[in-house]
């Protein structure tokens, strides 16, 4: 089919002339999404391969290095809570067993799919704005059919969230000072709470917990869980962005403390 | 307060047409449909507009205002600047008949392709027992007024005429979801929604939800749950394994 | 000869609201080839506007409910003018019709034990209305629409064609019924709205289900389709209309801003504390408590305000008097110059309740006005006035089959008369559609089955109908021609001002003079453009129906010299038992000098059939005595021996 007969210019449809008549700044949300996602990707890539400043003496482990399972983690004693077995190689991030899944979790997330289909692939950039592609097959073929693995990476993301939670909790126990609360502890805690909000508000989680049932009334507990998750789910996009921000902020905080740029403020102990 | 509204209305038919400028009196509190009616009564008696209840309940007056799919009766003039030129066109996903009226038969054809409600064969009238908790999800989808704005805005068919045969559109994928979640429907609709109605073409970019005048959460509550059910059936080896061991059908597994 | 598309069916249903769809389903289930013709798209009918619910004595919420109680409520609501047979069938069959909808996929709100929930409504003794939030009409339309699709799918499986036995002709208007030389129905003639092309149906049975007449009035809650087409088609085909003087006006419709003119403001606003005020800011309802209600309503504002919180020790506010009383009071205030700038009065809740409270108690009203009109009811008073809502009168039909006096012509739903008497109870119209829609469909099916031969339309009838339809495109014989929009606006204004909620002989006479003038002018109506989707042309053709209906209402209202239900004569304010047993029939005048464009009508009196004894016995004699003449009550079991000898 030629470009002239595609879409809103297909034969039989009103010959309006303009491809879109939208007068608002429809390009702004996809542009902002692009910028936001790119900033995160660049920052996260740099940090994942940096292999230093990931663990502060205050026992703060950045989520980008959790779980720290590379032999290289030995450079920061106490950072590896689950053993060290991956070879120490500059191209292998220290948290190489979790990062690919976290990436996959966000890549296949129903919200992020919308975000990058709109901003990177322009399919569509905004509602009622024609997309530039000649053909469209949606998520029916490889590779996009792989989006269906979302629920597996969700299962793994839950495990990683548990590990992050463990990291945040053990950080309260200083090897010498006992129970402590520093600003960094609060940062880790807030980050982990918001990560749970993002993870549990996932559409797959909502489905697995109760959405797949035909009769809620026969499963009162799962129905209640489904109701809670549904309420969280309405804010899934918000949590998706907030957690990108808190991940960067948490990591940056650990980086700054670990590099000695700033000093963590001890509140308790 | 009366002021002069400036309108550019698409006039024409399948053979062609153009945006035509008009100036019409507008009063405080009016909606775009009021202005078009005044245009009909005073300047263009033959301007074709489809409308009916004028209260946002029948879904007849769907069109596009400044490039955005909307109900003419639910778009207040006060949301625009007084001097702003309003461009009103017919829906651009369906064949135009005349002026602002389009041929929406695509939707009625799609409606017919979805197997109807299938109750248990042994259940008689008056014997139906359903809990409120079990009908809530389908009730949300039944709020649909069939304005077809979601069908209009969906890029799968809006930008790709060639997808029309394979894709039922958000309204009818939601109809499948409504039946699938109906507590007494016994048909299994999961394979069909993927293979026959084109659920896989949906890339959940949510324009259908954005445009819905009834505020139905089409994407989150109908389309994604259906994609998850497809994943249950097709892409989840754990579910497949459990089902094979227990020898249960996909419908029974959801009871 | 003009090119015309032709179709042959067994049953032709005109109108795709609840009644029409139910009739079509019934006819198709009998195996007849059925067509549905509707002016709008399939599924857009005015039935979707019904909010409250569908009355059916299922007894799910209160098991004391029964068809007898529902029957009594209906007769009382209609002030004993109803066709008792229709009220009986309606009360008996409504539960089955609702349950049947469930088997087609309807999802009503549920009781805790999983049955259909039922809600209270004005005039109903028990909670009786099956409902889905405030969109019950939409649910019923959608369910039947989907039932029709299911039947088409069954036909597709059998014949390979979806439309082999049941077809919907959307956006198609019927302008004339065709009859054979003996006056029996032979089909119908109309045009496609989209293309303007003509279409002729050959069908031995036609079911009219065209709804009401609200568009003859300036302020109405009805949509554009409500132009009384069925009423006019039936008249022209030789059928009678009955009870056309009874038009229900809802007291609180919006009058301003224009975009919401006529849209209902639910009674809940007044129930929750909203009060009516005139332009001087007075709560005028205290001055309008009629003698029969004295003692039941608060006399002072203080007492009325206390009632909202303490209903045991105070009397309710007169803002909550029956609909006709409130409407009459508003009307008087406006006529005496104390109305709001746009011809209504103020309904004020903003100054009496906190904004959050208003939003919590009246969410749908708050959103309706916010979204449709940009009016914030928490900050400013609403302007309200009576709005034309429903016509109780309609085509005179046989209660059991829906057949009019024209062989093969059936009617059901709002366009049929009799069921609701002088006043309809809320919730009884959706059940009416289902019960009598089905009965009309079956009646038509039985009629067709018993027919020896298909009636053939009179020769020349189609050409005459086509000529009539094209007339507005021809330049008028003199002058520049009339604009259909102008004529329509004038008709609406006259009907609203003169044949509205309060009527007098003088006003009725004046109205008839104006209608005669409009009848003359409508001959000169001229439209621009061509036949393809031309709203000006469509309106010009609908005007014919609206004028006939207007004359029927005004003439009937002139003849009935009493006040009852939806007919209030300020020059005859009381209820007159001698008028209870009389009905007014409207028919076309056949004197050889017919006006082909808008045939003249005449109204004549007739007697109503006396109620069957077992039904009469359901009421206390003391209640019946308020409505009936003593002679009519001789047969009542409570009348005793003296009654028998009187």
Cα–Cα dist C397/C253, whole Å? 31
Helix (H) or strand (E) holding C385: strand C382-391
Q: Tokens in use for C159?
A: 């014949």
Backbone angles phi, psi at C210, to 5 degrees: -95, 0
The one-character DSSP state at C612 is P
Only one residue has tokens 């979640």, namely B181
Q: Tokens in use for B113?
A: 């392709």
Kindly state the average pLDDT of the residues C615-631.
Answer: 93
pLDDT digits (tens, 9 = 90+) for A89-116: 999 999 999 999 999 999 999 999 999 9
Shortest distance, CA C382 to any CA of chain B (angstroms):
13
Shortest distance, CA B58 to any CA of chain A (angstroms):
23
pLDDT digits (tens, 9 = 90+) for C171-189: 999 999 999 999 999 999 9
The one-character DSSP state at C31 is T
The residues of C annotated as belonging to the active site are 250, 270
Looking at residue C493, what is its pLDDT? 95
Residues contacting residue A44 through CB under 8 Å, at least 6 positions apart = A64, A247, A248
Q: Taking a C-beta distance cutoff of 8 angstroms, is the pair B205, B155 a contact?
A: yes
Question: Across chain C, what does the average pLDDT equal?
Answer: 92
Nearest partner of A40 among A243, A188, A238, A200, judged by Cα: A243
Q: Taking a C-beta distance cutoff of 8 angstroms, is the pair C86, C93 a contact?
A: no
- The chains found to touch A (3+ Cβ pairs under 8 angstroms) are B
Buried b (16+ CB within 10 A) or exposed e, C608-620: beebeeebbeebe
> Is B105-253 in the same CATH topology as B2-102?
no
CA angle at residue C28 from C23 to C29, to 5 degrees? 100
Kind of pairing, strands C394-395 and C241-242? antiparallel
Nearest partner of C14 among C406, C431, C441, C407, judged by Cα: C441
Q: Taking a C-beta distance cutoff of 8 angstroms, is the pair A61, A253 a contact?
A: no
Instruction: Note the CATH number of domain C4-246+390-450.
Output: 3.50.50.60
Contact A213 B210 (CB under 8 A): no
Confidence grade of residue C292 (pLDDT, cut at 50, 70, 90): low
Contact C146 B112 (CB under 8 A): no
List the domain boundaries for chain B.
2-102, 105-253
* Residues written for chain A: 269
Give the nearest partner residue to C49 out of B57, B103, B117, using CB atoms. Answer: B57
Rg for chain A (alpha carbons), in Å? 22
- What is the CATH T-level fold of the domain C473-607, as seen in this structure? Methane Monooxygenase Hydroxylase; Chain G, domain 1 (1.20.58)
Nearest partner of B103 among C535, C224, A13, C199, judged by Cα: A13
- What is the CATH T-level fold of the domain B105-253, as seen in this structure? Fumarate Reductase Iron-sulfur Protein; Chain B, domain 2 (1.10.1060)
Give the nearest partner residue to A151 out of B161, B204, B231, using CB atoms. Answer: B231
Neighbours of A227 (CB within 10 A): 14
CA angle at residue C148 from C164 to B164, to 5 degrees? 80
Q: Is the pTM of this model over 0.90?
A: yes
Give the nearest partner residue to B98 out of C48, C484, C532, using CB atoms. Answer: C532
Nearest partner of B116 among A190, C554, C144, A73, judged by Cα: C144
CATH code 3.90.700.10 for C249-386? yes
C206-to-A158, C396, C544 alpha-carbon distances in Å: 65, 15, 20
Classified as helix, coil or strand, C311 is coil
Q: Taking a C-beta distance cutoff of 8 angstroms, is the pair C204, C449 a contact?
A: no
Cα–Cα dist C102/B185, whole Å? 11
pLDDT digits (tens, 9 = 90+) for C222-275: 888 899 999 999 999 999 999 999 999 988 898 877 777 888 887 778 877 889
Q: Tokens in use for B20?
A: 């035509």
Residues of chain C with CATH 1.20.58.100: 473-607
Contact B98 C533 (CB under 8 A): yes
Shortest distance, CA A77 to any CA of chain B (angstroms):
39
Only one residue has tokens 């044949």, namely C499
Instruction: Name beta bridge partners: B85.
Output: B6
pLDDT digits (tens, 9 = 90+) for C473-500: 998 877 889 999 999 999 999 999 999 8
- pLDDT above 90 (res C121): no
CATH code 3.10.20.30 for B2-102? yes
pLDDT digits (tens, 9 = 90+) for B118-155: 999 999 999 999 999 999 999 999 999 999 999 999 99
Residues contacting residue C506 through CB under 8 Å, at least 6 positions apart = none
Residues contacting residue B53 through CB under 8 Å, at least 6 positions apart = B60, B73, C44, C46, C48, C49, C223
ipTM summary value: 0.94
Looking at residue A4, what is its pLDDT? 41
Q: Tokens in use for B56?
A: 């946002």
Q: Which residues of chain A have pLDDT under 70?
A: 1-5
Cα–Cα dist A165/A188, whole Å? 9
Best to test chain C binding among B17, B53, B110, B186 (most C CBs inside 10 Å): B53
């Amino acid at each position: 089919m030629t470009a002239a007969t595609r879409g809103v210019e297909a034969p039989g449809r009103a010959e309006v002339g303009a491809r879109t008549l939208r007068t608002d700044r429809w390009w702004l949300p996809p542009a902002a999404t692009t910028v936001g996602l790119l900033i995160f990707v660049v920052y996260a890539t740099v940090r994942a391969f940096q292999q230093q400043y990931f663990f502060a003496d205050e026992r703060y482990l950045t989520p980008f290095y959790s779980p720290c399972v590379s032999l290289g983690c030995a450079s920061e004693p106490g950072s590896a809570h689950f053993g060290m077995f991956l070879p120490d190689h500059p191209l292998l991030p220290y948290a190489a067993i979790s990062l690919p899944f976290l990436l996959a979790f966000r890549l296949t997330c129903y919200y992020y799919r919308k975000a990058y289909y709109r901003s990177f692939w322009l399919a569509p950039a905004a509602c009622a704005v024609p997309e530039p592609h000649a053909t469209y097959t949606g998520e029916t073929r490889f590779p996009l059919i792989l989006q269906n693995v979302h629920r597996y990476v969700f299962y793994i993301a839950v495990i990683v969230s548990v590990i992050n939670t463990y990291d945040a909790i053990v950080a309260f126990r200083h090897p010498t000072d006992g129970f402590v609360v520093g600003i960094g502890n609060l940062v880790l805690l807030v980050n982990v709470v918001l990560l749970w909000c993002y993870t549990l508000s996932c559409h797959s989680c909502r489905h697995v917990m109760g959405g797949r049932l035909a009769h809620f009334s026969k499963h009162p507990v799962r129905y209640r869980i489904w109701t809670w998750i549904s309420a969280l789910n309405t804010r899934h996009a918000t949590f998706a962005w907030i957690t990108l921000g808190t991940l960067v902020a948490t990591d940056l905080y650990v980086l700054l403390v670990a590099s000695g740029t700033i000093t963590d403020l001890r509140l308790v102990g | 307060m009366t002021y002069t509204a400036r309108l550019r209305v698409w006039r024409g038919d399948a053979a062609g047409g153009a945006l035509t400028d008009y100036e019409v009196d507008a009063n405080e509190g009016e909606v775009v449909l009021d202005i078009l009616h005044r245009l009909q009564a005073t300047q263009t008696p033959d301007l074709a507009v489809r409308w009916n209840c004028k209260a946002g309940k029948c879904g007849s007056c769907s069109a596009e205002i400044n490039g955005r799919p909307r109900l003419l009766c639910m778009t207040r003039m006060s949301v625009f600047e007084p001097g702003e030129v309003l461009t009103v066109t017919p829906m651009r996903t369906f064949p135009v008949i005349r002026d602002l009226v389009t041929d929406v038969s695509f939707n009625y054809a799609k409606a017919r392709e979805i197997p109807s409600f299938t109750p248990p064969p042994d259940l008689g009238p008056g014997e139906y027992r359903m809990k409120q908790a079990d009908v809530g999800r389908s009730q949300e989808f039944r709020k649909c007024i069939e304005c077809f704005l979601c069908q209009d805005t969906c890029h799968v068919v809006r930008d790709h005429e060639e997808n029309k045969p394979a894709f039922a559109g958000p309204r009818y994928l939601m109809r499948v979801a409504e039946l699938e979640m109906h507590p007494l429907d016994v048909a299994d609709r999961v394979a069909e929604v993927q293979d026959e109605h084109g659920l896989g073409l949906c890339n959940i970019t949510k324009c259908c939800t954005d445009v819905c005048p009834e505020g139905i959460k089409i994407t989150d509550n109908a389309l994604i749950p259906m994609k998850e059910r497809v994943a249950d059936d097709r892409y989840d080896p754990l579910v497949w394994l459990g089902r094979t061991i227990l020898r249960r059908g996909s419908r029974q597994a959801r009871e | 000869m003009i090119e015309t598309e032709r179709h042959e069916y067994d049953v032709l249903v005109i109108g795709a609201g609840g009644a029409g769809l139910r009739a079509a389903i019934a006819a198709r289930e009998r195996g007849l080839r059925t067509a549905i013709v509707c002016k709008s798209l399939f599924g857009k009918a005015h039935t979707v506007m019904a909010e409250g619910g569908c009355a059916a004595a299922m007894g799910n919420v209160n098991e004391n409910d029964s068809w007898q109680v529902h029957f009594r409520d209906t007769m009382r609501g209609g002030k004993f003018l109803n066709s008792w047979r229709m009220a009986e069938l309606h009360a008996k069959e409504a539960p089955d019709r609702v349950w049947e909808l469930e088997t087609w996929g309807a999802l009503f709100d549920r009781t805790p034990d999983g049955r259909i929930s039922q809600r209270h409504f004005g005039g109903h003794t028990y909670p009786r209305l099956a409902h889905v939030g405030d969109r019950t009409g939409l649910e019923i339309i959608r369910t039947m629409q989907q039932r029709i699709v299911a039947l088409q799918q069954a036909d597709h499986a059998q014949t390979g064609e979806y439309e082999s036995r049941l077809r919907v002709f959307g956006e198609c208007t019927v302008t004339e019924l065709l009859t054979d030389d003996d006056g029996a129905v032979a089909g119908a003639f109309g045009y496609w709205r989209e293309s303007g092309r003509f279409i002729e149906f050959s069908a031995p049975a036609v079911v009219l289900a065209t709804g009401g007449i609200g568009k003859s009035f300036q302020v109405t809650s009805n949509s554009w389709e409500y132009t009384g087409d069925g009423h006019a088609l039936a008249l022209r085909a030789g059928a009678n209309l009955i009870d056309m003087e009874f038009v229900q006006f809802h007291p609180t419709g919006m009058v301003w801003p224009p975009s919401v003119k006529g849209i209902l403001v639910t009674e809940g606003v007044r129930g929750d504390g909203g009060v009516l005020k005139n332009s001087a800011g007075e709560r005028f309802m205290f001055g309008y408590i009629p003698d029969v209600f004295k003692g039941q309503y608060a006399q002072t504002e203080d007492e009325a305000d206390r009632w909202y919180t303490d209903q045991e020790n105070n009397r309710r506010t007169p803002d909550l008097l029956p609909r006709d009383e409130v409407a009459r009071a508003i009307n008087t205030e406006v006529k005496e110059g104390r109305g709001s700038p746009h011809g209504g009065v103020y309904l004020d809740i903003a100054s009496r309740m906190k904004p959050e409270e208003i939003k919590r108690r009246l969410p749908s009203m708050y959103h309706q006005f916010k979204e449709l009109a940009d009016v914030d009811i928490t900050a400013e008073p609403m302007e309200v006035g009576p709005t034309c809502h429903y016509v109780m009168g309609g085509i005179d039909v046989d209660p059991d089959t829906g057949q009019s006096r024209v062989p093969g012509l059936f009617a059901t739903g709002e366009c049929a008369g009799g069921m609701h008497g002088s006043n309809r109870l809320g919730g009884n119209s959706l059940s009416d559609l289902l019960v009598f829609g089905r009965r009309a469909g079956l009646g038509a099916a039985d009629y067709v089955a018993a027919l020896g031969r298909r009636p053939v339309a009179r020769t020349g009838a189609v050409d005459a109908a086509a000529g009539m339809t094209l007339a507005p495109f021809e330049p008028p014989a003199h002058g520049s021609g009339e604009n259909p929009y102008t004529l329509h606006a004038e008709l609406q204004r006259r009907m609203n001002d003169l044949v509205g909620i309060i009527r007098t002989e003088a006003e009725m006479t004046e109205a008839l003079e104006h209608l005669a003038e409009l009848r003359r002018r409508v001959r000169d109506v001229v439209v621009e453009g061509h036949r393809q989707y031309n709203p000006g042309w469509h309106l010009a053709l609908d005007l014919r129906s609206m004028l006939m209906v207007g004359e029927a209402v005004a003439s009937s209202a002139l003849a009935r010299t009493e006040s009852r239900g939806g007919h209030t004569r300020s020059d005859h304010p009381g209820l007159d038992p001698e008028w209870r047993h009389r009905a007014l029939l409207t028919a076309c005048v056949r004197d050889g000098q017919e006006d082909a464009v808008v045939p003249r009508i005449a109204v004549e009196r007739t007697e109503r059939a006396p109620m069957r004894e077992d039904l009469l016995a359901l009421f206390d004699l003391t209640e019946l005595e308020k409505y009936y003449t003593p002679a009519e009550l001789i047969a009542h079991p409570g009348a005793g021996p003296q009654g028998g000898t009187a």
